[in-house]
Structures are given as C-alpha cells and as structure tokens.
C-alpha cells in the first residue's frame, strides 16, 4: 500500500510538470509577427524579408532547442536538443524555390531524466532520419512539403516507437496520461502539411518572416491579443552587418519584445481546458480540484526575438526566447539557429553556381 501511495504521489508530481508544459504550448503567442505589413516598395522606410536564393545554394546550421525552469533563483535545464542540418536549394524559378533539408547530427539530453534521454537518443540512432523537401513562393514563404507522404509515414512510425518505449518503461503513466489520448495529440501535429510546418520549430524559426515587411526604426504597440489579454510589443528593425567578419552592408535585422499579461481569472480556465483534454478523467478531476484551491496571480508571458538576415534573405542567426512566469516559477523556452558554413551562387544567373564564400 505504501508503494502504491508513493506511486500516486509521483504521478501527481509528473502531472504538475505536464500541466506547466501544456500551458506553455497553449500560450504560444505571436509577437514580432503582429507588426508585419504588406510588401512595400520604399526601401528607405521599410525592410522586406525576401528570398533571393540561387539554385545549389548550400547552408549548414546549428540548431538548439532548450527548456529550463527557474525557481528560487535556481535554473534547471529540463531538456535540450542540439542538431546540425544542411539546406540546399535544389530548384529555383521565378515564382518558387525547392529546398532540401538534410539532418546531419542530433543529440538530446533530458537532464536528470536519464530514461527519457536514453529513449530519445536510441530512437534517433535506431531509426535514422529523413530529408524534408520544402517548396516556397518567390518570397521564401514555405508553402508545401514535397515529400509529405514519406514524412507523414516516418513521423507516425517515430511516434509509435517513442510511445512503445515510454509506456513500457513507465506503465503507471497510463493512469494519468492515457496513451491513446497522448498519441492522438502527437499525431495531430502531423495531421497535414500545414500542421507539420507549424510544428517544425527549426524551419519555422528560419522562414516564418519571409514575405513580410517591417518599418525601419522602432515601432511600439499597446493593445490586446486575440484572447483579449493586454500586451505591449516593441519591434526594432534596421540594416546592419550580420557579423563584422562575415557580414555585408545590406544585411538586416528584426528584433522584438512582447509582454502579455494573463488575468488570474482566465488562467484557471486555460489550465483546466488543457487538463481535461489530456489527462484521464480521474486525474483531471483531482488536478482541477487542486487548482481551484490555489490563489493564483496574474501570469506574465515574455517573448524576446532576434532575427538576423544576410542581404539575400538567408537567415544568419535566429533566436526566440519565451518565458512564462506563473505560480512563482519561470519556464523558459529558448530556440536558436546559426549558420556555420555557406556556398552561394550569383542571383540572377541560374546556371552553374559560383560560390561567394564558404
């Protein structure tokens, strides 16, 4: 009986972590994107994020995805993924680009959760990976996944392998987080091309602003978001060399900071909705009862974004930090992508590429 009681307390602890994670996903608020405008002709007042890519352009990026928790001034890294991938322009027309994304190396680390680290790293090594071929419009906005059928089949195979390993090692998890529900939510992320693109954090970080225009200088907005929550946004945009050694005079940057306040009255409802969607009915009821007893304060969501582009629209370094402060705990999600090598052709000459530098 003591063992069963201990297991239930452990499950409840895991659920609290899960709730925070789900809440984090629920509050994926836009920031810089809110101040985008239509493409403009006047280069003196606006910057257009446009792809001027060439066939055979090749760039290699290092990508980092990190989740950390800060409480009582102690920072705990809960998970971290480091990957290296290459982007190659396979085709270029007047109205589109075809780009192949080739994974080179991936390492995962779930900190103290050595079991999860082992499961994820073993999956990466055992199943290998798959190249993604995207097509964009003339501005560089992702429109389609050319090999979508192959991607979808591979993704579902990965989800099944992951859940098989997770629930065989932690069968008690099924009491709180029914596998069928969890699997359904994960599968929805790959339901169609649009959902896949939205959930591909690395590609989204690199290409989400292409096809949009930003006013040069500092722009501030004090408004409400789609939920009616108050938020303040500041965006700064201008021309600057992406780096002193490897940058160019016409490189440009877009940086932004958004602070959103979520009233405590809405907080319980938001958390409750995600609990009911994810957890078993028994555990959802218990956790909802506990939340109702809590004296919550307003939550604050802070987004800090820094996007740096080369003059031809290729991303140089992209960063997005999201912080949610709730119940005395800060949850931080940090994503970063930076180029490590490049071979470019000469735009306008769609014959054989002549590398500008490597």
Q: What is the pLDDT of residues 168-217, one digit of tens each?
A: 988 998 988 899 988 888 888 888 999 999 889 999 999 999 999 999 99
Average pLDDT for 238-248: 91
DSSP state of 27: T
What's residue 261's pLDDT?
Answer: 92
Q: List, in order, residues 6 or more apart from 304 with CB less than 8 Å away.
A: 256, 257, 319, 320, 321, 322, 323
3-state class (DSSP) for residue 333: strand
Q: pLDDT tens, 130-148?
A: 899 999 999 999 999 999 9
- Band (35; pLDDT cuts 50, 70, 90): low
List all residues 6 or more positions away from 306 whose beta carbon is below 8 Å from its beta carbon. Answer: 253, 254, 255, 317, 318, 319, 320
Average pLDDT over residues 271-275: 78
Q: Of 232, 224, 227, 296, whose CA–CA distance to 265 is shortest?
A: 296
Element (H, E) at 161: helix 148-169
Who wins on pLDDT, 226 or 46?
A: 46
In order of 56, 79, 343, the CA distances from 340 in angstroms are 17, 23, 11
DSSP assignment of 173-200: HHHHS-HHHHHHHHHHTTSSHHHHHHH-
277 compared with 252, residue with greater pLDDT: 252
**352 pLDDT band (50/70/90 cuts)?**
very low
DSSP letter at 32? Answer: G
- The Cα–Cα gap between 165 and 187 comes to 17
More confident residue, 86 or 158: 86
Please tell me the distance from the alpha carbon of residue 30 to that of residue 168, in angstroms, as a whole number.
37
In this predicted model, which residue has the larger pLDDT, 121 or 307? 307
Reported in sequence order, the residue ranges of the chain that DSSP labels E, i.e. its strands, are: 46-48, 58-71, 74-92, 96-109, 132-137, 142-145, 213-215, 217-224, 230-239, 252-262, 299-309, 315-326, 329-343
Lowest mean pLDDT across 38-47, 50-59, 181-190, 246-255: 38-47
Place of tokens 């201990």: 6
User: What is the DSSP secondary-structure string of 197-262?
Assistant: HHH-HHHHHHHTTTT-EEESEEEEEEEE-TTS-EEEEEEEEEE--S-TTT--TT-EEEEEEEEEEE
pLDDT of amino acid 26: 52
Q: How many CA atoms lie within 13 A of 327 on its CB side?
A: 15
* pLDDT, greater one: 10 or 166: 166
Give tens-digit pLDDT for 325-338: 887 788 899 999 99
Q: Where are the domains of the chain?
A: 2-343
Distance CA 280, CA 180 (A): 10
Q: How confident is the model at residue 31 (pLDDT cuts 50, 70, 90)?
A: low
| Chain-centroid distance, C-alpha 273 | 22
Band (266; pLDDT cuts 50, 70, 90): confident
Q: How many C-beta atoms lie closer than 10 Å to residue 94's C-beta?
A: 6
Question: Could you tell me the pLDDT band of residue 278, with boundaries at 50, 70 and 90?
Answer: confident
Choose between 224 and 101: higher pLDDT: 101
pLDDT at 355: 40
* Cα distances (angstroms) measured from residue 87 to each of 14, 62, 94, 97, 105: 38, 11, 20, 12, 14
Determine the pLDDT at residue 327: 74
With contact defined as beta carbons under 8 Å apart, do 22 and 14 qualify? Answer: no
Instruction: From 121, 79, 129, select the one nearest 102 (Cα to Cα).
Output: 129
Bigger pLDDT: 35 vs 102 = 102
Whether pTM > 0.75 for this model: the answer is yes
Written as six digits, the tokens of 214 are: 């930003």
Tokens of 94: 């007047």
Query: Are 235 and 49 a contacting pair, CB within 8 Å?
Result: no
């Amino acid at each position: 009986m003591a063992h069963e009681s201990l297991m239930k307390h452990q499950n409840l602890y895991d659920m609290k972590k899960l709730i925070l994670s789900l809440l984090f996903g629920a509050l994926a608020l836009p920031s810089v994107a809110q101040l985008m405008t239509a493409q403009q002709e006047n280069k003196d007042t606006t910057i257009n994020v446009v792809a001027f890519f060439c066939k055979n352009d090749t760039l290699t990026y290092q990508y980092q995805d990190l989740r950390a928790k800060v409480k009582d001034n102690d920072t705990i890294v809960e998970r971290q993924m480091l990957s290296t991938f290459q982007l190659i322009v396979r085709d270029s027309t007047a109205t589109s680009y075809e780009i192949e994304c080739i994974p080179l190396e991936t390492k995962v680390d779930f900190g103290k959760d050595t079991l999860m680290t082992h499961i994820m790293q073993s999956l990466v090594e055992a199943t290998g990976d798959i190249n993604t071929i995207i097509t964009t419009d003339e501005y560089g906005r992702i429109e389609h996944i050319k090999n979508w059928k192959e991607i979808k089949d591979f993704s579902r195979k990965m989800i099944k392998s992951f859940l098989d390993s997770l629930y065989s090692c932690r069968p008690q998890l099924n009491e709180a987080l029914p596998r069928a529900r969890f699997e359904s939510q994960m599968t929805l992320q790959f339901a169609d091309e649009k959902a896949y693109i939205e959930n591909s954090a690395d590609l989204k970080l690199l290409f989400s602003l292409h096809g949009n225009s930003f006013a040069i200088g500092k722009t501030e907005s004090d408004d409400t978001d789609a939920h009616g929550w108050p938020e303040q946004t500041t965006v700064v945009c201008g021309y600057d060399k992406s780096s002193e050694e490897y940058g160019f005079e016409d490189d440009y940057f877009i940086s932004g900071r958004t602070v959103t306040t979520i009233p405590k009255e809405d907080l319980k409802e938001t958390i409750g909705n995600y609990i009911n969607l994810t957890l078993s009915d028994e555990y959802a009821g218990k956790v909802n009862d506990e939340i109702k007893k809590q004296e919550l304060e307003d939550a604050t969501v802070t987004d800090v974004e820094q996007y740096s582009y080369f003059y031809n629209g290729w991303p140089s370094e992209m960063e997005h930090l999201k912080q949610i402060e709730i119940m005395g705990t800060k949850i931080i999600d940090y994503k970063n992508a930076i180029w490590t090598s490049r071979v470019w052709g000469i735009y306008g000459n769609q014959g054989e590429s002549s590398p500008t530098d490597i």
